[in-house]
Amino acid sequence: MHEFKLPDLGEGIHEAEIIKWHLPVGQVVQLDAPLVDVETDKATVTIPSPYAGRLHWVAGEVGDTVLVGKVLAVIDDATAGMADEPPPPVVAERKSVSKGQAVEQKALPSGSDLEKKTSPPSAPYAREAPSSGNSAPPDSLPSSPRPAAPATRRLARELGVDLRLVSPSGPAGRITPEDVRRHHQQQVLPEKRPVAGGSAPSASLPNLSSPNLKLVPPDPRDEREEEPTTELSELVGIPFLQVDPLPDFERWGPVERMPLRSIRRKTAQHMVTASLVVPHVAHMDEADVTLLEEFRRQEKPKRTGQAGGSLSLLAFVLKAVAAGLTENPEFNCSLDPVAQETVFKKYIHIGVAVDTPRGLIVPVIREVNRKSILQLASELEQLVARTRDNQLQPAELVGGSFTVTNIGALGGTGLIPVVNYPEVAILGMAAARPRPVVVDGEIAIRTMLPLTLSFDHRVADGGHAARFMNELVRRLGDPHALLLET
Amino acid sequence: MVVGNLTQETEVVVIGAGPGGYVAAIRAADLGREVLLVEERESLGGVCLTEGCIPSKTLIHAMQLINAAREAERFGILVKEVNVDIDRLREFCRSVVSGLSRGVEGLLKRRGVEVIRGRARFESDRSLRLEGSDVSNIEFRHAIIATGSRINQLPVGYDLPLWSSAQALTLPEVPPHLLVIGGGYIGLEMGLVYAGLGSRVTLVEFCPRLLLGADPDLVEVVIKRCQHRFEALLVDSRVIGVQRSAGGYEVQIEHEGATTTRRYDQVLVAIGRHPNTEDLGLEKAGVALQDGGIIQVDNRMRTSRPHIYAIGDVAPGPPLAHKASREGKVAAEAIAGQPSAFDNRAIPAVVFTDPEIAWAGLTEREAERQGRPVRVGRFPLKALGRAWTMGQTDGLVKVISEVDSGLVLGVGMVGPHVSELISEASLALEMGATVEDLAVTIHPHPTIAEAIQEAAEVADGRPVHISPATS
């Protein structure tokens, strides 16, 4: 009997959704044969069976979420009897510990007092949903804390994180400092409880108990003096924000309901976060890419069939953006509101938004400033193909410092992209098309590429954006300068 | 008041200079607070230092020396006679206590903590009234109540000069026949000390078991040893009467309905402790009590008045010095605005019997009571090289873990030096270690500590020095 735990699927990935079991319980699986497909935040992975034997028990059905490090399946030795054995003890044990998998906190029989002490301040948390993707209902939160080292517990208190809500990544369900920080980041920073007033009781506000809006427990420092501080419910929410229960759409015609699955759900979460956290400004301009397009037309036939032979416009844009980011580091940073610091990244890793049937996926090209246009074009070809074929490794989806989204191939005269938080800027490319423009007082036909830089006004101003875009437009308008300067 | 009403203001006042109070005072001072420490007794350090842990461990060490000399014969070392000079032993004990107490005084002085001798009572939630001091009033912004606990009195014979543990620790004499009432850790420790010094000791316990908090398999090892050392060990027995009789006491002991009367030269009462929360003026401060005179606190040690804190024996939990010290730090840090909380997973318990018992976290008995499935890895010292070299193979170490994950939930041990070993278990519990973590950690050979590793290996299903079948 082997317990197979969901393996580490890459940095920052703590859970996965079961998409498909390749065989039903009771069937025999060969070593390394496909066992299960799981989907993480951005990629779908087929996990092969590490054992040969009969699939005895599985952790969940399609659509269930499993935490990294938790038992995913139990596989019997192939030689073990196929008879109707009672369910393996492992299953029973899992059930019995799932409620209170936390460390026992008592030392002595009189410890019931301690239990009281160690439970967190309580009430305000009661209605909060568990962290993202965790399918457990709130009332199944363990009452005693999960194992975490003392320094981690202190960090949680500093950040106002309730350890019971954190998805652990360590062995035996141990919570690491990274888990706490990750959870904290997910607690949208300016989050507040929605205004309690109004006619809608909180129970009818299901959307607001979503993982995106979570309470920050009161800072203990605020209440060390005098009476305990004011009730949380008195804290101000977002004025006028009122999310009413959805109407019954079927009143107006038939509808079909589809579950929100991982990539879509993750995108929703990410976009709500970005639009709440980032004060967006969009700066727009057009690049005259006539010469660049001519250059590409001339060069392309010479490189047919070679790596990077497509010489995509995006490769040139990436190169020009990388030069601009070197000159304007305020678009290649992140804001750390906890430390009150700006984090400037000394690398230029650019995410490229790729439209796939499964949803929007943003693989990252590393060290763009150190690569030639030909290398970038070649890497883009492979990356796009592998993204669409669902071949990406989770590590290829993280670590970007800037994002470019190119909707131009599909059309459009302009777009206002949403910043890929915690990045601070994103460049949107619409369709490059021949247009009548005024050149030296005359109307001429030029190929124009509409560009939009959406950025986080907390870290940069309109002046920065204008200078960044002027240089970008200049370089894209002058391929010689682009080749010489970058 | 002869000296008039002298009022002193302070940011933080700590009431009681035991291991909770003096530690809280030092931490608060180190965090930049102005601290005033009020202590009723002349010497600092509380019950623990002056009439508890420190003198008792000194005497227990002396007892171990005596026993070692007597047991050295097995090693071919012949000690002809062991004589105890009780006066010198008493003097040594005193010097240890006074040395450490002066040490505490020095620490406080260097930290700029002002110490006032006197008895404090709350006048309001912002002021204290002092008795026996030049300063008659203290006005404070924060207070930490660390007044500790006192020994429980026997319901019978309370008017007689029976020994408390505090008196027994001053070594007034070595009574030929000593009755110890109470089978908790104090009764056992003191009984063994006097047995080592030459008394014939009888121990009486009201409950059917000794050391109620500890797992029976650990206690059993000690009981086996005590049966050699003690004249009689009476459980399920109750003292229902004590009278003076020529140079000693007549004691009536009831056991299963039958009463016997026996004569002892001295009687030592060790039946628990009671928090010092009466006569403190807590009602004037608005500080709420819960059952048993314990002060209600939250996990930051704040009472129902959030600027007044309570730590140590007056707060819930076991009355242990190390717990008080930790709580003192939490309280001081909370006052200084830090996000500290008493969130410890384990308060280790140690009994300095022969051999020693120690445990931390979940006990097997408690797991059973909760109906919680656990995996227990047990390793007997009989299978451990170091125990053989010392000629002390009575004992065991057990690691109690979560079945599914191997998370360490508790550790219990009995054997030589286990008081020193339990801290590894506490660390494992605080860090959320698994049995695998303990099993792969290299423990030096040959040491008693290896038994922790071995027990973890048993729990992990891969022991080396014991066959898996017997586990």
The pLDDT tens digits of the residues spanning A411-423 come to 999 999 999 999 9
pLDDT at B310: 98
Quick check: B432 and A174 CB within 8 A? yes
Residue A331's nearest CA partner among A425, A428, A468 is A425
Give the nearest chain B residue to A223 (CA atoms).
Answer: B306
Region B183-194: what's the mean pLDDT? Answer: 95
Closest by Cβ to B349, choosing from A97, A108, A175: A108
Closest by Cβ to B317, choosing from A110, A145, A157: A110
Closest by Cβ to A113, choosing from B213, B317, B405: B317
Could you tell me the two tokens for B193?
Answer: 């000390």
Domain boundary among A96, A115, A146: A96
**pLDDT at residue A339 is higher than 70:** yes
Considering the domain boundaries, does residue B278 fall inside one? yes
Q: How many structural domains compose chain A?
A: 2
Considering the domain boundaries, does residue B342 fall inside one? no
**Strand, helix or coil at A37?**
strand
Closest by Cβ to B402, choosing from A90, A114, A172: A172
Based on the fold, state whether residues B303 and B319 are members of the same structural domain.
Answer: yes
The answer to whether A114 contacts chain B (CB < 8 Å) is: yes
Position with higher pLDDT, B155 vs A471: A471
pLDDT at A137: 35
**pLDDT at residue B48 is higher than 70:** yes
The answer to whether A103 contacts chain B (CB < 8 Å) is: yes
Q: What is the mean pLDDT of chain B?
A: 94
Residue A144: which pLDDT band, with cuts at 50, 70 and 90?
low
Domain boundary among A65, A96, A127: A96
Give the nearest chain A residue to B332 (CA atoms).
Answer: A224
Quick check: A224 and B294 CB within 8 A? no
Q: How many structural domains compose chain B?
A: 3
Domain containing B462 equals: 349-470
Quick check: B317 and A114 CB within 8 A? yes
Helix axes B418-431, B450-459, angle to 10 degrees: 50
Give the nearest chain A residue to B342 (CA atoms).
Answer: A118
Quick check: B307 and A226 CB within 8 A? yes
Considering the domain boundaries, does residue A230 fall inside one? no
Quick check: B306 and A149 CB within 8 A? no
Position with higher pLDDT, A50 vs A107: A50
Region B280-284: what's the mean pLDDT? Answer: 96
The answer to whether A95 contacts chain B (CB < 8 Å) is: no
The answer to whether A247 contacts chain B (CB < 8 Å) is: no
Considering the domain boundaries, does residue B402 fall inside one? yes
Quick check: A225 and B316 CB within 8 A? no
Give per-residue pLDDT as tens, B228-277: 899 999 999 999 999 999 889 999 999 988 999 999 999 999 999 999 99
Contact list, A74 vs chain B (CB under 8 Å) = none
Considering the domain boundaries, does residue A107 fall inside one? no
Residue B22 parent element (H or E): helix B21-30
Could you tell me the two tokens for B28?
Answer: 């608060």
Position with higher pLDDT, A379 vs A223: A379
Helix axes A313-327, A462-477, angle to 10 degrees: 140
Least confident span in A192-206, A339-353, B269-283, B391-405: A192-206
Based on the fold, state whether residues B111 and B17 are members of the same structural domain.
Answer: yes
Region B279-301: what's the mean pLDDT? Answer: 95
Domain boundary among A60, A76, A96: A96
Based on the fold, state whether residues B135 and B281 are members of the same structural domain.
Answer: yes
Give the nearest chain A residue to B309 (CA atoms).
Answer: A224
Residue A330: which pLDDT band, with cuts at 50, 70 and 90?
very high
Considering the domain boundaries, does residue A250 fall inside one? no
Q: Which of B407, B413, B429 to mutate to test the interface with A (most CBs of A within 10 A)?
A: B407
CATH code for position A407: 3.30.559.10
Residue B4: which pLDDT band, with cuts at 50, 70 and 90?
low
Q: How far apart are CA A68 and CA B365, in angstroms?
A: 33
DSSP B290: -
Q: How far apart are CA B409 and CA B26, in angstroms?
A: 33
pLDDT at A353: 93
Could you tell me the two tokens for B2?
Answer: 């002869």
The answer to whether A142 contacts chain B (CB < 8 Å) is: no
Based on the fold, state whether residues B178 and B147 are members of the same structural domain.
Answer: no
**pLDDT at residue A230 is higher than 70:** no
The answer to whether A223 contacts chain B (CB < 8 Å) is: yes
Could you tell me the two tokens for B258?
Answer: 């039958």
pLDDT at A11: 64
Q: Across the A/B interface, how many CB contacts are shorter than 8 Å? A: 141
Could you tell me the two tokens for A5?
Answer: 């735990």
Considering the domain boundaries, does residue B49 fall inside one? yes
Closest by Cβ to A223, choosing from B306, B409, B432: B306
Q: How far apart are CA A420 and CA A423, in angstroms?
A: 5
Based on the fold, state whether residues B108 and B204 are members of the same structural domain.
Answer: no
Region A148-166: what's the mean pLDDT? Answer: 87
Strands lying side by side in the sheet with B349-351: B349-351, B356-361, B408-415, B396-402, B374-380
Q: Which of A5, A106, A115, A180 to mutate to test the interface with B (most CBs of B within 10 A)?
A: A106
Q: How far apart are CA B469 and CA B471, in angstroms?
A: 5
Residue B130: which pLDDT band, with cuts at 50, 70 and 90?
very high
Secondary structure of A443-465 in HEC code, one letter for each residue = EEEEEEEEEEEEEECCCCCHHHH
Q: How far apart are CA A297 and CA A309, in angstroms?
A: 11
**Strand, helix or coil at B446?**
coil
Give per-residue pLDDT as tens, B363-418: 999 999 999 999 999 999 999 999 999 999 999 999 999 998 899 999 999 999 99
CATH code for position B124: 3.50.50.60
Residue with tokens 């071949």: A391
Is residue B60 within 8 A of residue B169, CB to CB? The reply is no
Position with higher pLDDT, A164 vs B342: B342
Give per-residue pLDDT as tens, A5-59: 887 776 667 778 888 888 888 788 888 788 888 887 667 778 888 888 888 888 8
Considering the domain boundaries, does residue A76 fall inside one? yes
Considering the domain boundaries, does residue A229 fall inside one? no
Give the nearest chain B residue to A91 (CA atoms).
Answer: B404
CATH code for position B441: 3.30.390.30
Based on the fold, state whether residues B112 and B235 are members of the same structural domain.
Answer: no
Q: Which of B299, B404, B423 to mutate to test the interface with A (most CBs of A within 10 A)?
A: B404
DSSP A256: -
Q: How far apart are CA B231 and CA B202, in angstroms?
A: 6
Could you tell me the two tokens for B343?
Answer: 């969130």
Region B270-291: what's the mean pLDDT? Answer: 95
Based on the fold, state whether residues B147 and B293 are members of the same structural domain.
Answer: yes
Position with higher pLDDT, B301 vs A89: B301
pLDDT at B435: 95
Is residue B326 within 8 A of residue B342, CB to CB? The reply is yes
Q: Which of A117, A179, A184, A229 to mutate to test the interface with B (most CBs of B within 10 A)?
A: A117
The answer to whether A228 contacts chain B (CB < 8 Å) is: yes
Based on the fold, state whether residues B196 and B220 are members of the same structural domain.
Answer: yes
pLDDT at B172: 94
Closest by Cβ to A154, choosing from B316, B339, B373: B339
**pLDDT at residue A402 is higher than 90:** yes
Based on the fold, state whether residues B20 and B137 are members of the same structural domain.
Answer: yes
pLDDT at A12: 66
Residue A124: which pLDDT band, with cuts at 50, 70 and 90?
very low
Based on the fold, state whether residues B145 and B25 are members of the same structural domain.
Answer: yes
Considering the domain boundaries, does residue A35 fall inside one? yes
The answer to whether A174 contacts chain B (CB < 8 Å) is: yes
Quick check: B407 and A173 CB within 8 A? yes
Considering the domain boundaries, does residue B263 fall inside one? yes
Region B92-114: what's the mean pLDDT? Answer: 96
Residue with tokens 């001339």: A298
The torsion angle over the Cα atoms of residues A87, A89, A95 and A98, rounded to 10 degrees, is -150
**ipTM higher than the 0.85 cut:** no
Q: How far apart are CA B382 and CA B75, in angstroms?
A: 18
Based on the fold, state whether residues B231 and B311 are members of the same structural domain.
Answer: no
DSSP B300: T
Considering the domain boundaries, does residue B13 fall inside one? yes
Closest by Cβ to A148, choosing from B361, B362, B432: B432
- CA B84 to chain A, closest CA, distance in angstroms equals 37
The answer to whether A201 contacts chain B (CB < 8 Å) is: no
- Annotated catalytic, B445? yes
Residue from A349, A457, A464, A480 carrying the catalytic annotation: A457
Region B145-156: what's the mean pLDDT? Answer: 92
Residue B339's nearest CA partner among A167, A219, A362 is A219
In DSSP notation, A334-366 reads EEETTTTEEEE-SS--EEE-EEETTEEE--EE-
Quick check: B345 and A96 CB within 8 A? no
CATH code for position A29: 2.40.50.100
Cα B23 → chain centroid: 17
Based on the fold, state whether residues B286 and B312 are members of the same structural domain.
Answer: yes
**Cβ contacts of A167 within 8 Å, gap of 6 or more:** A14, A15, A67, A130, A131, A134, A179, A183
Quick check: B360 and A148 CB within 8 A? no
Considering the domain boundaries, does residue B391 fall inside one? yes
Domain containing A32 equals: 2-96
Q: How far apart are CA B407 and CA B430, in angstroms?
A: 11
Quick check: A108 and B318 CB within 8 A? yes
The answer to whether A226 contacts chain B (CB < 8 Å) is: yes
Considering the domain boundaries, does residue B279 fall inside one? yes
Omega before A24 cis (within 30°)? no
**pLDDT at residue B92 is higher than 80:** yes
Region B286-310: what's the mean pLDDT? Answer: 95
Region B40-69: what's the mean pLDDT? Answer: 95
Closest by Cβ to A96, choosing from B342, B366, B373: B373
